[in-house]
Structure formats: structure tokens, C-alpha cells
Amino acid sequence: MRHKLYWQIYFTVVGSLVLFALLAGLLYQWHDDPPPRRLIHGSASLLAAALPPTERPIAEQAAAFTQLTQEFDIPISLYAANGKIIASVGEPLELRQGKPRIFQLRLPDQRLILVGRPPHREKSPRLIAGFAMLAIAIAIAAIPLARKLSRRLEALANQLDALGEGDFSVRLPVHGKDEVSRLSIHFNRAAEQIAELLNAHKNLLAHASHELRSPLTRLQMAATLLGDHAPAHLQKELSQNISELNELVEEILLMSRLDARPESLQTQRLDLLELCQIEAAPYQANVVGPHTEIEADPRLLKRLIRNLLENASRYGAAPFSIRIEIEADWVQFCVCDQGEGIAAAAQAHLFEPFYRPPGTPEGKGGHGLGLALVKRIAEHHGGNVEYQASAAEGSCFKVSLKRNDKSNHA
């Protein structure tokens, strides 16, 4: 079970209250308030005035003492001047030094009255029940308090998750001037700075890629003018390098546009089978599957299919194939080749831009932007792409796209 902060706060508050109630109950049980001293001495003085004088017989003094004190709820004893006990109500009290629970009063005739404290009083069950009801009431009242304290921190955690997933538009509401509010302010400021830095980076990349087109165009013109004056192998290498640079610049520009304006899809209804057949023709790839219409940006979808076919042509082996399938609300197509496939260690990095497997020499085996762009285009259409390999079908990239409800297929 996930440990939530508000439960920690709640149990801390309730635990503190329970501990307080237990300690208060123990102190109440142990503590015994003495009766007021002036009340004890006043009662003893009244007894002294009502008792028969010392000249009267001991039995008469005892009877009178017993009659006067029988209603008392405390132990009380009467001693003669010679130290002999005359009478006692309750437990006979003995005069001892350092016994704090006994009060004594010496009468003018030297008789001694000893008064004990009341017996330990019984604790009322109502009082204990009152403590329990108080603890329950405060525990219930602490629930919204703990929830209020933790809700804002949970909101901050959720927004941090969204920020980590790439949503830099998230902001936290700021309430009050406490520590959580200051944390929200710092979070919003950091999110704004990150968004500004990323936008600046994307704009710089887009502008730099755009500016690269001019020198590439001039290089292409120079290579054309050079014509037959250069060796054939040099013309071929120059033409190939310029073509690769043009392709890379185009992919960088497209990636930058998708990052800068992810909502700028220009979708229309198109037949996926026809589109795959057109793109597969230069690669002599076999296309099988039903006609199905989907809602997509044709320019981006063409780029996705072309990149997968180019990847198969460059790193795989013929024959190439595209298989279209329909599953519930999704249309799926697999671009496959019969090459050796991709090593398991490299599969986790397939869609990372410019990833190069360890030990691969410069200029061979790098992924470039092709597969990263495939993944980005699929995600912009609400779909996904994954790599699959099997002995029957070979090495395949499977793209899943949402199918329009009005799709027709044969």
C-alpha cells in the first residue's frame, strides 16, 4: 500500500491525542487531592467543642465521639493526653512521624484528634468514557485537517510527474504564504525557466537547420557544375554526402516543427493501403491487408512509412513487406525485413536520436533521426511504435494508429 503523507500526518495527530488521553487518565488515577487543611482543622475544632470534657468517663467520651463522627467518610481517631486511644471511626490512626496522610489537632485539654485523608476515591466510568469520546471526536476532526495539509503536496507531486513526462505548461496554484506556497512559487518559476530554455533550444535548432539549406544548395550546384571534370567516384561520393545532409536537415527541421507545434497536424481521411503501396514501390516491398481509411496527416505518415522502409533497406535484407491488420478501434501495420534483426541490448535505445551501439565505427550503424522521427509522428497521431522479431516474420516495426469510426474496409 502506498504510504500517503496525509495518513502520516493523521496518525501522528491521533497518536499524540491518544497518548495524551492515556497519560491524563493515569495521572488522574494516581493523583489524590488532599482535602483543604482549613476544613480539616475547622472540623476538628468543632469536635473539640462538642466532646465531653476529660473529667467524664472514657466510655462517655467514646460514645459521644462515635456519635459525632459516624457520618464522616474519613478515618478519625481520638487519643487521651496519656496517648491511649479513646475511640476511632474507620481504621484506627496511629501518630507516626513523617506520615503525610494524617492531620492532627491537639486540644487545649491535651487530647489529640487524628484525621486521615479520604479513602482513594472510585473513578467514574463516565469520566473515562468522556476521555474516549473526546479522543474520537478530535480524531474525526483531524481527518480534514490532515487531508488539507497533504492535498497541496500531492498536487505538487502530480505536477512534477507531468513535468517529467514533458508537459511544461503545468503550474501550481498558490494559496497563502506558508512553506507549501513558497514551494509552489519556486516550482512554477522553475517550470517557466525550463519551458523557456527548451523553446529557445528548439527555435535555435529550427533556425540553424533552415540556414543549412543555403550552403547545401550551393554545394549541390557546385557539384553539378563540376560535372565531368571530377573523377566518377568523387562525383558519386559528393552526391551521396549532399543527399544525406539534405535528408538529415529535413528530418531535423521536421522534428523541430513537431516539438515546437505538436498541435499543428493537418489531418485528412486517407486509405492506408494505397499510401503503403505507393511508398513501398521503390523498395519492391510486398503490401498485404485490407483497405481502411484513417484520419492522419499524409505528409507525416508518408515520412513515417518511408523512414521504416529506408531503415529496413539500409540495415536489413530483402524481401521487404508491409502487413496491415485491423484490431477493434486500432489499425496496425508492420514493416518487416529478413535481416539478422537488432541485438537485444540495443532494442531499448532504438528510438533515441543518433544512438550508436557500443563498438560501432563512425559512419556505420548509427540510428540517426529516422526511427526517433517515426516514434514522434506515431505519438502525434495518438499511436505508438514497437519493435518485434520472430523467425516466421523476420525483423519488424509495428505501428498502431487509432482507426476512425467511419472507416470502411474490404
The CATH number given to whatever domain includes residue 238 is 1.10.287.130
- The total domain count for the chain is 4
Say whether both 272 and 307 belong to one domain. Answer: yes
- Tell which residue, 367, 365, 381, 391, has the closest CA to residue 333: 381
- Tell which residue, 373, 362, 364, has the closest CA to residue 307: 373
| pLDDT tens figures, 65-83 | 888 877 777 788 888 888 8
Q: Is 208 contained in some domain?
A: yes
Say whether both 22 and 147 belong to one domain. Answer: yes
Say whether both 386 and 325 belong to one domain. Answer: yes
pLDDT score at 27: 65
What number is the average pLDDT over the span 17-33? 65
Say whether both 41 and 26 belong to one domain. Answer: no
pLDDT score at 214: 66
Say whether both 248 and 301 belong to one domain. Answer: no
Say whether both 147 and 219 belong to one domain. Answer: no
107, pLDDT greater than 60: yes
The one-character DSSP state at 361 is P
What number is the average pLDDT over the span 111-125? 68
**Percent of all residues in the chain with a pLDDT value above 90, rounded to a whole number:** 15
pLDDT score at 25: 66
| pLDDT tens figures, 279-321 | 999 999 999 999 998 999 888 899 899 989 988 998 889 899 9
* Residue 384 CA, distance from chain mean position: 26
Say whether both 250 and 354 belong to one domain. Answer: no
Helix pair 370-380, 232-260: axis angle to 10 deg: 30
Backbone phi, then psi, for 293, in 5-degree steps?
Answer: -100, 135
- pLDDT tier at 401 (50, 70, 90 boundaries)? very high
What number is the average pLDDT over the span 254-279? 78
Say whether both 134 and 74 belong to one domain. Answer: no
54, pLDDT greater than 50: yes
pLDDT score at 1: 36
Average pLDDT of the chain? 76
Question: Which domain, by its residues, includes 147?
Answer: 5-30+123-164
Say whether both 191 and 141 belong to one domain. Answer: no
* Residue 359 CA, distance from chain mean position: 40
In the beta sheet, which residues pair with residue 398?
334, 386
* Grid cell for residue 100: 503525610
2-17 core/surface letters (b: 16 or more CB in 10 A; e: else) = eeeebeebbeebbeeb
Each as own residue / partner, the long-range contacts of residues 130-133 (CB below 8 Å, 24 or more positions apart, any chain) are 131/21, 131/24, 131/25, 132/21
- Tell which residue, 201, 208, 205, 235, has the closest CA to residue 219: 235
pLDDT score at 315: 85
Q: How far apart are the C-alpha atoms of 252 and 256, rounded to whole Å?
A: 6
What contacts 287, CB < 8 A, 6 or more positions away?
273, 276, 277, 280, 321, 322, 323, 324
Q: Is 407 contained in some domain?
A: no
- Higher confidence at residue 11 or residue 397? 397
Say whether both 111 and 209 belong to one domain. Answer: no
Q: How far apart are the C-alpha atoms of 102 and 317, rounded to whole Å?
A: 108
- pLDDT tier at 407 (50, 70, 90 boundaries)? very low
Lowest mean pLDDT among 83-87, 200-204, 233-237, 294-298: 200-204
What number is the average pLDDT over the span 92-97? 70
* Residue 243 CA, distance from chain mean position: 49
Contact at 8 Å (CB) between 394 and 341? yes
| pLDDT tens figures, 338-388 | 988 888 888 888 888 777 666 555 555 556 778 888 998 898 888 999 999
Q: Is 397 contained in some domain?
A: yes
What number is the average pLDDT over the span 98-106? 67
Among 209, 234, 260, which residue terminates a domain? Answer: 260
Q: Is 410 contained in some domain?
A: no
- Higher confidence at residue 288 or residue 195? 288
Q: How far apart are the C-alpha atoms of 307 and 397, rounded to whole Å?
A: 11
Q: Is the pTM of this model over 0.75?
A: no
